[in-house]
Structure 1
Amino acid sequence: MINENNMLVRDGVSLKYIDSGESRGMPLVLIHGIADSWHAFELLLPYLDKSIRIIAPTLRGHGDSDKPESGYDSKEMADDVSELLNKLTFEKAVVLGASSGGLVARSIALRYPEKVSGLILVGSPLELCKNPNLRQLYDNEISKFGDEVDKDFVKGFVSGLSGTNVPSGFIEMMTEETMKMPSWVWKEYTASLLAERVPENISDINVPCLIIWGGKDEITGRSDQEEYARLIRDSRLKIHEGLGHMLYWEYPEAVADDINEFMHEMV
């Protein structure tokens, strides 16, 4: 059963989040990427082990969470999620970051190591400051947004990420979710992603880390994943050669198997 709730975290910002699975199970926090919401994990959730306690927040500025004027970088969002965990009285949790949500997840691991028992990065970039496609998208379109975001842009953005074998109804639902992100959030969050670099202390992450990546991912490269595996000492890299960036949309069963195995090892 999925319970959807709101939680006031800090600075007057309230986050929408879901709470699912075994109430006494090991907590797994799912953090979505830019323009998504907790709904990005809907295809994955049915395949996650029912013994896991799943918390999936919608980050500030996204979906049905509050949309303040500022605070759109990975550190601010990490602080939000950390406070959510405090309010839920979790001592430790495994934190999963998908796509750009991986930057938030690793920031939690670095800023609040006492709260993190494990880290999972799914299709996560090492950094985006050198990504020519995101830079072009920002310079040519996002930075020029007016008060409203064009729905054709959003449709193209979601469809471009989706890859193959993703149900059309799910893509339509995620398009509607993405439309909830205001133009100023698009601008601020994308600009922060383009400015963020690999943390100098990333090697301080000292918990088991699972890195999951699709071999057809054209947004995050293989070299990023290999560098993550080199920088984070207790890490392993699992590659699904036939899948793309949103591999947990394309083949959620396989990604869930990876996550479930990792979670069972953490017990």
Structure 2
Amino acid sequence: MKTAVEERRINVSGLTTRYFTAGNDGLPLVLLHGDAASALDWSWVLPTLADTHRVYAPDFPGFGDSSKPNREYSPEFLMQFVTDFLKAIGIERAVLVGNSLGGLVALRFALSHSEQIAALVLVDSSGLGYSVTPLLSQFTLPSYGEAMITWCKTPLGAKQRSLLRAAVFFAHPSKVPDVWLAEQERMAQMPGFLEATLSSLRAQLNVFGQSQVLLDSLPQLQMPTLVVWGSNDLIFSKDQAQTAASRLQQGHLALIPDCGHLPHVERPELFAAALSHFLTGVAS
């Protein structure tokens, strides 16, 4: 029987933060979602991971059901949020798992707070190469992103946005869970969500590709690090995963076959198995 997942809210430096948690024992796992997403993305693997660990999956500020202040959503701001969140829930040391934007934030945190990180997991992470699909980088163009926000806040625009994201983020868009599509539609119509999404995209990208690339910093990491990648990721090429893993002192690579940018949603069994295998080695 799968472990029950609780939804909670906590004040983190003045911001109401929703998070999911499950499990009782084992090294804490903190799961950080990607841009234009929420902690719901982890719900396909969270109960399984909670069988052996205490798991926490927060909504970043600006996303999901957390507060959405009118501000810049830079990786630096989100890294500070992670610092404050861990302090608020009393975690001194954990395994940090980040997907896409969450991976970039996790990587920055590990480089700055290595003593708090037992292990690091980068899932189709930003910051490991310059190339990115033009479907995302075009939002950095002046006025284009703002025009898309206006359209995507309408019911029809929110639905079209959800379906377009499914086509880009999954290897098999026709099999995307209805719950995931509904969450994307719901969030698009929430005040402040698309503005936060655009702000965070522009902090990571320019019209030519990724602007925050940390490949040269990877050899500094002392902790075991797993790089997990969907082999058919259209957002970031799997070559970025292979290059990143080769630069890590304790690097491990897991390519998830027939999978796009969100392996924890599209291939949850394979993702959970790869992560559990890695964590078993960390524990030993």
TM-score by length of 2: 0.85
Residue-pair matches, total: 265
What RMSD in Å do the two structures reach over aligned CA positions? 2.2
1:158 and 2:165 correspond: yes
Higher mean alpha-carbon deviation, 140-149 vs 95-104, is at: 140-149
> SS in structure 2 opposite 1:201?
helix
1:208 positional shift? 0.3
Deviation string, structure 1 residues 123-163 (Cα, Å, up to 9, x no partner): 11335764233212443842434556331443234322233
What residue identity is the alignment partner of 1:6?
R
Partner of 2:121: 120
Alignment map for 1:162-181 (pairs within 5 Å): 162-164=170-172, 165-180=175-190
Deviation string, structure 1 residues 189-208 (Cα, Å, up to 9, x no partner): 11001154223533222110
What residue identity is the alignment partner of 2:170?
S
Partner of 2:200: 189
> SS in structure 2 opposite 1:8?
strand
Counterpart Cα distance in 1 of 2:23 and 2:161: 32
Q: 1:198 aligns with which of 207, 213, 226?
A: 213
Higher mean alpha-carbon deviation, 147-156 vs 55-64, is at: 147-156
Alignment map for 1:1-267 (pairs within 5 Å): 1-10=4-13, 12-22=14-24, 24-127=25-128, 130-131=131-132, 132-139=134-141, 141-145=144-148, 149=153, 150-160=157-167, 161-164=169-172, 165-180=175-190, 182-194=193-205, 196-199=211-214, 200-267=216-283
What residue identity is the alignment partner of 2:18?
K
Consecutive unaligned residues in structure 2, runs of 5 or more: none
> SS in structure 2 opposite 1:224?
helix
> SS in structure 2 opposite 1:60?
coil
Contact 1:17–1:55 (Cα < 8 Å) also in 2: yes
> SS in structure 2 opposite 1:213?
strand
Counterpart Cα distance in 2 of 1:128 and 1:144: 28
> SS in structure 2 opposite 1:156?
helix
Contact 1:213–1:239 (Cα < 8 Å) also in 2: yes
What residue identity is the alignment partner of 2:90?
T
Higher mean alpha-carbon deviation, 164-173 vs 228-237, is at: 164-173
Residues 145 and 250 (structure 1), Cα distance of their counterparts in 2 relative to 1, 3 Å cut: closer
> SS in structure 1 opposite 2:44?
coil
Counterpart Cα distance in 1 of 2:262 and 2:145: 21
What residue identity is the alignment partner of 2:182?
E
Residues 143 and 129 (structure 1), Cα distance of their counterparts in 2 relative to 1, 3 Å cut: farther
> SS in structure 1 opposite 2:67?
coil
1:35 positional shift? 1.1
Counterpart Cα distance in 2 of 1:155 and 1:80: 27
Counterpart Cα distance in 2 of 1:261 and 1:247: 16
Residues 27 and 146 (structure 1), Cα distance of their counterparts in 2 relative to 1, 3 Å cut: closer
Contact 1:146–1:183 (Cα < 8 Å) also in 2: yes
> SS in structure 1 opposite 2:16?
strand
> SS in structure 2 opposite 1:91?
coil
> SS in structure 2 opposite 1:62?
coil
Counterpart Cα distance in 2 of 1:182 and 1:104: 18
Higher mean alpha-carbon deviation, 154-163 vs 99-108, is at: 154-163
